[in-house]
Amino acid sequence: MAKIVGPGSLIVDVTGFAPHLPVAGETVKGTTLKFGPGGKGSNQFTAAHRAGSTVKIISRRGDDFLGQILKKHYETEGMSEEHIVVDPQDETASALIEIDEKDAQNRIIVIFAANEKVTGEHVLAAEKDFADCDVVLTQFETTLDALLTAKALAKKYNKPFILNPAPYLEVPVEVFDGTDYITPNETETLQFTGINPDSDENCRKAAEKFFEMGVKNVVITLGKKGVYYSNGKEEFTIPATSTKAVETTGAGDAFNGGFATAIGEGMDVKTALYFATCTSGISVTRRGSSPSMPYRHEIVELMEKEFGIKID
C-alpha cells in the first residue's frame, strides 16, 4: 500500500446542471443543484485513497456549513484529517460549477478562501509523514510557499515529487526545476510552454520545453486522445478508455490520484499511466468530483477489460 502526502486544496463544489450553458445575459432553466466535497487537492487524495493508498493531505478549512460537508466526507471515507487546520474564522473554499448535460463540459469559478492561508510551516509540521511516504503529490490550488516546502522535503527524503500544474499560474521556474513528474493537460501545456500539444511532434516539443525547466518526466493528458509520456529518452502515448462521459469535472484529479498511487506502489511508468487512465476513465461516467472517484477493484477490472493488463 502506497503512502501519499502533500499540500492540497479543500473546496466544496456547488454544481448546477442544465440542458446548455447560458451565454452572457441569458437565464437557463436548470435540472438540479448539488453540494459536494471537491478541490483539486482533496479530489486527488480521495482518488488515491480509493485506489488503495494511505493519504495525508495538508490543508485548511473553516468550521462553517461548507466545512461540515468536507468533514463528513473525510469521516465517511476514513481519510486522515491530521494535517487539516480548522479555523472558525476561515471561510471554507467553494467552486461554482455549471455542467452542460448535452456534452458534459463545465464552466467553473473557484473561491480559494482558507486554502490561501496554508503555509510552509503547515507543511513542515507534517515532516514525519514525508520521511516515510512513497510519493509527494501537489497542485496549484495551494500556496507556492506550501508547494515549494513540500518539494524541498521530497528532495530531502528522496521521494518522487508529482506536480499537477493546475490551475494555470504564472510561477517562477524554480517551481518546475527538479520535479520528477509533471502532469499538465492540453490547455496547461500550451500556457506553460507556448506549444499546443495537438500532434506527436508538438507534444515532443512541449516536453522539451519542460525538460529545459528542469522537469524529469512529462505526462500530458490529452482527453479523448489519451496520454503522452516522455522522459527525453523514450516516449509513447497511452490511449483513452472507451467509457462514455457524463461529467468531466475531476477527471484530471482522478488521473493524478491514480498515477500517484501506481508510482507509489512501484509500478513502471507505462503501467502506472494505464492505471491512471482507467481511474480517470471511470470517474467521468459519474457526477461529482470527489464522489465520482472509483475504487481499486473497478480500476483493476477496467485495466484488464480495456488493455488486457492484470494487476492485484
CATH code of the domain containing 147:
3.40.1190.20
Domain housing 234: 3-307
Position 33 in a domain: yes
Position 312 in a domain: no
The residues assigned a catalytic role are: 253
Position 146 in a domain: yes
Count of domains observed in the chain: 1
248 three-state secondary structure: coil
How far, in Å, CA of 109 to CA of 151, rounded? 28
Question: Among candidates 92, 143, 150, which has minimal Cα distance to 123?
Answer: 150
Bridge partners, residue 136, by sequence: 5, 161
List pLDDT tens digits, range 91-147. 999 999 899 988 878 888 989 999 999 999 999 999 999 999 999 999 999 999 999
189 three-state secondary structure: helix
Rounded to a whole number of angstroms, the CA Rg of the chain reads 18
Position 264 in a domain: yes
Over residues 190-214, the mean pLDDT reads 97
Helix, strand, coil distribution of the chain in percent, nearest 5: 40, 25, 40
What single DSSP character describes residue 191? H
Position 11 in a domain: yes
How far, in Å, CA of 306 to CA of 172, rounded? 40
pTM recorded for the entire structure? 0.93
List pLDDT tens digits, range 220-258. 999 999 999 999 999 999 999 999 888 777 899 999 999
The pLDDT value recorded for residue 312 is 81
How far, in Å, CA of 303 to CA of 149, rounded? 35
Q: Report the Cα 185 to chain-centroid distance in Å.
A: 11
* Strand order, beta sheet including 11-18: 32-38, 11-18, 93-100, 106-111
